Amino acid sequence: MATEAEIAPSHHHDEPDPNANYLIASKGVWSWLTTLDHKRIGVMYLISVTLAFFMGGMFALLIRLELLTPGRTIMGAATYNRVFTLHGAIMVFLFIIPSIPAAMGNFILPIMLGAKDVAFPRLNLMSFYIYVIGAIFCLFSIVSGAVDTGWTFYTPYSTTSSSSVVSMTLGVFILGFSSILTGLNFIVTIHKLRAPGMHWRRLPLFVWGMYATSVIQVLATPVLAITLALLAMEKVLGLGIFDASLGGDPVLFQHFFWFYSHPAVYIMIVPGMAIVSELFATFSRRAVFGYFAIAMSSLGLALLGFLVWGHHMFTSGQSEFSTMVFSGLTMLVAIPSGVKVFNWTATLYKGSIWLTTPMLYALSFLVLFTIGGLTGLFLGTLSVDIHLHDTYFVVAHFHYVMMGGTVMGFLGGLLYWWPKITGKLYNEPAAKVSWGFIFVGFNAVFIAQFIMGSRGMPRRYYDYVPEFRPYHAFSTYGSWVLAVGFFILAGVLIQSLLKGAKSPPNPWGSAGFEWNTSSPPIYSNFAETPVITRGPYDYHEATEEELFDGFPEDFKKTES
Amino acid sequence: MNSTDLMKQLPAQWSTFGPGYDWLFYFIYWMSVALFVGIIGTAIFFVVKYRRRPGVKAEPTGHNLVMELAWTVAPVILLVLLFHWGFAGYVSLTSPPPDAMDIRVRARKWSWDFEYPNGGHTANSVTIPINRPVRFVISSEDVLHAMFIPAFRVKRDAVPGMYSTLWFQATHTGDTRFYCAEYCGAADAPVIGADGVARETGHFSMGGPVHIIPQSQWQEFLVGILRAPTHANGTEFTPAEWGEQLYTAQNCNTCHSVNGSAMTGPTWQHIFGHDVALADGSHVPVDENYVRRSILEPNAQVVQGFNPVMPSYQGSLTDRQLDALIAYIRSLR
Ligand SMILES: [Cu+2]
Ligand SMILES: [Cu+2]
């Protein structure tokens, strides 16, 4: 198994030391920017998506602030439309889609497999730069007048809008390739680079989740690319594809768009589920209940995800027959989702549950995703959806899934692997406080939106009738609590980077394979290729002492 | 509004769909509450009961095929039920009775026009009789919009190049609201209304009242929309007064000012009786025929310096309304 690092033409003097901590194996900004190390690429992604999250979050706060009072609060309607579009587009394309796979997947997946790197390290670096170029186009669009179409770019509004739609769609088009290449890389890595003894039945659930995600990325993203290319052609060349006045069909765009964007929902949520499965096992000290069912339900979601796009169009004028089929198929999504929720809950049974901050995030995921899933039943039920479609109920529903699910998984994974990535411990009590603010704030923001939505408040409204004022105000106050939570969390992480205590190799005492190497890992991940002899959750094979004190002896001293 | 009212999930229901809809909604609601409490309650119970304690080890995870099959299969029953009820409700939502009365609904950025069976129109407000099936035949002149009447539990997109339909039968008299539910943008800057106040206009302002009246008043209403509106004291509006009212009611004010400032379209101040320069370089006098044509075929004679973005009002204004608008523009000279 020759790795890229061995065959890469390297400049002799700055060849990284394979046995040194990856953070200092080679020095200088240039060594980072040209690195082929999956860990460094993962870290660069992590920084990028964090910046994107910050930006998207700021736009979210502006939206909420504007909606604090009816009429104008801080901005005009045209600006407001741009702000909510940018919030959505940045969060979806620059944050959520790359967040877990490209940042954490890149870092953790090869280590979990016992590999030295991903299958194609150069492609990996290239996909990062493609992401950066795509992001630059999106930023360019923001400074050159921004986009006011909503992140869904519905035609014919998007083809007639005078805002800078073309550069934004071009940015998203480019970002798609980054996503495809990462997916491809992971699929090959999982098939080809598993360490000896790592059978499919021993694959950590995180890897199963990444596998399912990668398959969707590779199969669905090209459709987005085609859609956006057609959109740009119509806008620039005046071809009549979607615009009825040119002989096109506006509903066709929605079919195309959701054919990608519904599977994309699973690109976003399956990785969150994947992280949470790891967290439940580690902090219950127990193998995940129904390992096989959870692994297969990820694949099931990936498959079903391709068959339900029409549920976004129940009021759009597709035929009654397709509406019926899509409603039926959408209902099926509840089954693999339910399987996961039930299995996670069963994992807690007779465990030894350690309520660390990552575990609190895993439990938050369970609570919020359950709400997100159950409210999905309202939307999948045809007649009920008609009233709820395009109201704040939908906004709240998908935020419970995307933010209550994926972002909670992301934060849980970030804190869980923080010592692995940085080699530093963080302040647990402070992190718990930030979790409290985030959990309470999040629910305050979106519970209010559920109620106003089912009471008839349409989404994407700059202004509203006085009846909805209490809900909007409450939601805005919630957004401030949420923001405080994130700022405390940022403080905790910065403090850890600057002053955090050195982490032992396995601070959580996890049986996961990624903890079988130093934290932070050495450049080549393992001093020698590991041989896997047990499953990733075989806590019963660990001694009493290891379970309660963590594998390394010095851990007891570092935990408060 | 008191606090129990604030927590209600659904607004008052005023159509024949209402009771069935609310029943199904609350069925899913309480089912979800029960499932949520069951699942999360169990999880919290486990987290407390099996919290980490020195000397107590986690038990190795076993298998329980029966349980796994049970929670995979049991939801299917529920899902089939929901699907069935949802579909049945949808079928009635999409099957108007043959005797339904048609109202033609035209959406455009950012106003709605309603055309009644007798050819009369109302803009941004709709009046319907109680206890009578009404079918909206909806179209859009520009981008996507959607007709949404929360109290009736109905919604339907307005798609350019296509007719879509929606029907309902109101069960209460009184006033409720309709909204545009599909995002359709906003004007770049606030628009000055006839009252001189600048207002933001866009997707969010594209709504209005739904007046539900007793059947006994319906004929009277239909006749009334063909006539000029009346003052509080019962005297009819003069044509110019009516035109002034239409200027805002028909949303001409989103593009035209009456104070001399150019917006998306030219101002109406001091145009009547003067010559206007057209995009093709010619000059034409602004008279009754020119104004009429500008409203019905706006792209036939485009004013110099402006884009041909004005929608045609062919079919959405009656002759008398056109006369009223002309009289108003004339009065501004
Ligand atoms: Cu979907
Ligand atoms: Cu609209």
Asked if B2 has any chain A CB less than 8 Å from its own CB, the reply is no
Asked if B21 has any chain A CB less than 8 Å from its own CB, the reply is yes
Q: How far apart are CA A415 and CA B295, in angstroms?
A: 64
Total CB pairs under 8 A between chain A and B: 285
A16: left (phi over 0), alpha (psi -120 to 50) or beta: beta
Q: What architecture does CATH give domain A35-559? A: Up-down Bundle (1.20)
In chain A, residues with a C-beta closer than 8 Å to the C-beta of B156 are 315, 317
Asked if pLDDT for residue B267 goes beyond 70, the answer is yes
Q: What angle do CA A483, A461, B248 make, to 5 degrees?
A: 145
Smallest Cβ distance to B9: which of A353, A451, A459?
A451
pLDDT-based confidence at residue B193 (cuts at 50, 70, 90): low
Q: How would DSSP label each residue in A443-508?
A: HHHHHHHHHHHHTT-BSS-SS--GGGHHHHHHHHHHHHHHHHHHHHHHHHHHHHHHHPPBPPS-TT
Q: What angle do CA A70, B127, A382 make, to 5 degrees?
A: 70
Q: Quick check: B120 and B225 in contact, CB under 8 A?
A: yes
Of all helices (H) and strands (E), which one includes residue B85? helix B65-94
Neighbouring-strand partners of residue B211: B127, B175
- The amino acid present at B105, given as its one-letter code, is V
Smallest Cβ distance to A345: which of B42, B164, B185?
B42
What pLDDT is recorded for position A7?
A: 44
What pLDDT is recorded for position A63?
A: 97
Task: Say which residues have a Cβ less than 8 Å from residue A419's Cβ, sequence separation at least 6.
Answer: A425, A426, A503, A504, A507, A519
Top mean-pLDDT range of A15-19, A137-141, B134-138, B284-288: B134-138
Asked if B312 has any chain A CB less than 8 Å from its own CB, the reply is no
What pLDDT is recorded for position A161?
A: 80
- Domain spans, chain B: 101-215, 239-331
* DSSP assigned state of B267: -
Asked if pLDDT for residue B196 goes beyond 80, the answer is no
What count of residues does chain B have? 333
Q: How would DSSP label each residue in A373-432?
A: HHHHHHHHSHHHHHHHTTBHHHHHHHHHHIIIIIIHHHHHHHHHHHHHHHSB---HHHHH
In the numeric block, which tokens belong to residue B29?
């609601």
Percent of chain B as helix, strand, coil, to the nearest 5: 35, 25, 40
**Using the beta-carbon criterion (under 8 Å), do A348 and B50 form an inter-chain contact?**
yes
Q: How far apart are CA B162 and CA B328, in angstroms?
A: 34
The candidate with the shortest Cα–Cα distance to A493, out of A544, A419, A393, is A419
Query: pLDDT: is B273 or A206 the higher one?
Result: A206
Q: Quick check: B188 and B201 in contact, CB under 8 A?
A: no
Q: How far apart are CA A138 and CA A127, in angstroms?
A: 16
What pLDDT is recorded for position A504?
A: 85
CB atoms within 10 A of CB B333: 12
Q: How would DSSP label each residue in B169-229?
A: EB-S-EEEEEEE-S---B-SS-EE-TTS-EE--BGGG--EEEEEE-GGGHHHHHHHHHSPP
Rounded to the nearest angstrom, the gap between the alpha carbon of residue A85 and the centroid of all alpha carbons in its chain is 19
Asked if pLDDT for residue B121 goes beyond 70, the answer is yes
Dmax (CA) of chain B: 98
Angle (deg, nearest 10), helices A205-237 and A291-304: 10
What pLDDT is recorded for position A543?
A: 63
B116: helix, coil or strand?
coil
What pLDDT is recorded for position B4?
A: 60
What count of residues does chain A have? 560
Chain B, window 62-121: residues with a beta carbon less than 8 angstroms from a chain A beta carbon: 64, 67-68, 71-72, 75-76, 79-80, 82-83, 85-94
Tens of each residue's pLDDT in chain A, 560 residues: 344 444 444 444 457 777 788 888 888 889 899 999 999 999 999 999 999 999 999 999 999 999 999 989 999 999 999 999 999 999 999 999 999 999 999 999 999 999 999 999 999 999 999 999 999 999 888 888 888 999 988 888 888 887 778 888 889 899 999 999 999 999 999 999 999 999 998 999 999 999 999 999 999 899 888 888 888 888 788 888 888 777 888 888 888 889 888 998 999 999 999 999 999 999 998 899 989 999 899 888 888 989 999 899 888 877 888 899 999 999 999 999 999 999 999 999 999 899 999 999 999 999 999 999 999 999 999 999 999 999 999 999 999 999 999 999 999 999 999 999 999 999 999 999 999 999 999 999 999 999 999 999 999 999 999 999 999 999 999 999 999 999 999 999 999 999 999 988 888 888 888 888 888 999 989 888 888 888 888 887 766 555 555 444 333 434 43
Q: Quick check: B263 and B257 in contact, CB under 8 A?
A: yes
B113: helix, coil or strand?
strand
In chain A, residues with a C-beta closer than 8 Å to the C-beta of B57 are 285, 352, 544, 547
Please give the average per-residue pLDDT across B52-65, as a whole number: 82
DSSP alpha helix (H) spans, A285-356: 291-304, 320-332, 334-348
Query: pLDDT: is A536 or B129 the higher one?
Result: B129
Residue indicated by tokens 């956006």: A228
Task: Say which residues have a Cβ less than 8 Å from residue A93's Cβ, sequence separation at least 6.
Answer: A134, A138, A151, A171, A172, A175
- The amino acid present at A379, given as its one-letter code, is L
Residue indicated by tokens 């219950």: A284
- The amino acid present at A442, given as its one-letter code, is F
B135: helix, coil or strand?
strand
In chain B, residues with a C-beta closer than 8 Å to the C-beta of A378 are 25, 28-29
Q: How far apart are CA A137 and CA B237, in angstroms?
A: 56
Asked if A342 has any chain B CB less than 8 Å from its own CB, the reply is yes
What pLDDT is recorded for position A10?
A: 44
The CATH class for the domain spanning B101-215 reads mainly beta
Q: Quick check: B72 and A341 in contact, CB under 8 A?
A: no
Task: Say which residues have a Cβ less than 8 Å from residue A47's Cβ, sequence separation at least 6.
Answer: none
Asked if A74 has any chain B CB less than 8 Å from its own CB, the reply is no
Asked if A257 has any chain B CB less than 8 Å from its own CB, the reply is no
Considering chain B, what percentage of its residues have pLDDT values greater than 70? 97
Per-residue pLDDT of B82-118, as tens digits, reads 999 999 999 999 999 999 999 999 999 888 999 999 8
Q: How far apart are CA A191 and CA A214, in angstroms?
A: 12
The candidate with the shortest Cα–Cα distance to A147, out of A129, A130, A128, A172, is A172
**Using the beta-carbon criterion (under 8 Å), do B183 and A459 form an inter-chain contact?**
yes
Q: How far apart are CA B272 and CA A265, in angstroms?
A: 57
What pLDDT is recorded for position A17?
A: 79
CB atoms within 10 A of CB A13: 6
Q: How far apart are CA B146 and CA B137, in angstroms?
A: 12
For ligand 1, the distance from its centroid to the CA atom of residue A265, given in whole angstroms, is 7
Q: Quick check: A135 and A48 in contact, CB under 8 A?
A: yes
CA atoms within 13 A on the CB side of A440: 11
Q: How far apart are CA B144 and CA A146, in angstroms?
A: 21
Domain spanning B239-331: CATH 3.90.550.10:
no
Smallest Cβ distance to A339: which of B17, B71, B159?
B71
Q: How far apart are CA A449 and CA A443, in angstroms?
A: 10
Considering chain B, what percentage of its residues have pLDDT values greater than 90? 53
The string over B105-141, giving b where at least 16 C-beta atoms fall within 10 Å of a residue's C-beta and e elsewhere, is: bbbbbbbbbbbbeeebbbbbbbbbbbeeebbbebbbb
Residues with a beta carbon under 5 angstroms from ion ligand 1 = A 262
Q: How far apart are CA B225 and CA A497, in angstroms?
A: 72
CB atoms within 10 A of CB B168: 24
Q: Is B206 exposed, middle or buried (0-12, 13-18, 19+ CB in 10 A)?
A: buried
Please give the average per-residue pLDDT across B55-61, as a whole number: 80
In chain B, residues with a C-beta closer than 8 Å to the C-beta of A383 are 17, 20-21, 24, 85-90, 92-93
A150: closest chain B residue by CA? B183
The candidate with the shortest Cα–Cα distance to A150, out of A90, A98, A97, is A90
The Cα of B146 is separated from the nearest Cα of chain A by a number of Å equal to 8
DSSP alpha helix (H) spans, A144-193: 157-160, 165-192
Q: Quick check: B294 and B326 in contact, CB under 8 A?
A: no
